[in-house]
Amino acid sequence: MSINYVHCFIYLEDKFLMLRRNKPPFEKMWNCVGGKIMDDETPYDAVIREVKEETGLTIQSVHFKGIATWNQAGGMYIYVTEKFIGDLIECKEGTLEWKSKDWVLQSSDVVGSIPIILEDVLTVDTPVEFALFYTGEEYEGDIWNYEIRPLVGPNLKNPTS
């Protein structure tokens, strides 16, 4: 299984920067900022680049929180930051808006995995693996099952270096 993507929860006080996607997967749903890791990048480099490209913000500090895999076929590295500088730009991927934590946790317009991951991202110090199992084409359907596992052994290495 390859882990080719990064996701970043960007927050300021009790609000999270969310992206309403204008293309698949999860078109018209609210998601975190992130994207594909380029061949010559580390996950850390990719999250810095993706946040800058999609938001205009420059991350000053970012924390690795784990990985999320889906249907045992792919996955993403998960990061969180509250330290950034810059002003938001217009995003070609969709609409950016600051949303309250309660809204993110309760809205049916948010990608289903986000509420599952969010609490642990904010509270767990040790990186974890979120094993998500989706129904539907291209993993756009409902989550029918998920597991949260501690990362052990070689997976414990922080991919930020």
Residue 146: pLDDT above 70?
no
17 and 33 in contact (C-beta within 8 Å)?
yes
In a domain, 118, yes or no: yes
Q: Which amino acid is at 146?
A: Y
Residue 154: pLDDT above 50?
no
The confidence score (pLDDT) of residue 137 equals: 57
In a domain, 35, yes or no: yes
- Each residue of 83-101: pLDDT tens digit? 999 999 999 999 999 999 9
In a domain, 92, yes or no: yes
CATH number where 144 lies? 3.90.79.10
Domain containing 25 equals 2-156
Confidence of residue 20 (pLDDT cuts 50, 70, 90): very high
Tally the domains of the chain: 1
pTM of the model: 0.84
Token code pair at residue 2: 């390859």
Q: What mean pLDDT comes out for the span 136-149?
A: 55
In a domain, 13, yes or no: yes
When the pLDDT of each residue in the chain is averaged and rounded to a whole number, the result is: 85
Confidence of residue 143 (pLDDT cuts 50, 70, 90): low
**Bridge-partner residues for 80, per DSSP?**
9, 63
| Locus of tokens 């291209």 | 138
In a domain, 161, yes or no: no
Residue 70: pLDDT above 90?
no
How far, in Å, CA of 160 to CA of 42, rounded?
A: 7
Residue 82: pLDDT above 60?
yes
Q: What mean pLDDT comes out for the span 105-134?
A: 86
Residue 134: pLDDT above 60?
yes
How far, in Å, CA of 14 to CA of 144, rounded?
A: 29
Q: What angle do CA 140, 96, 110 make, to 5 degrees?
A: 35
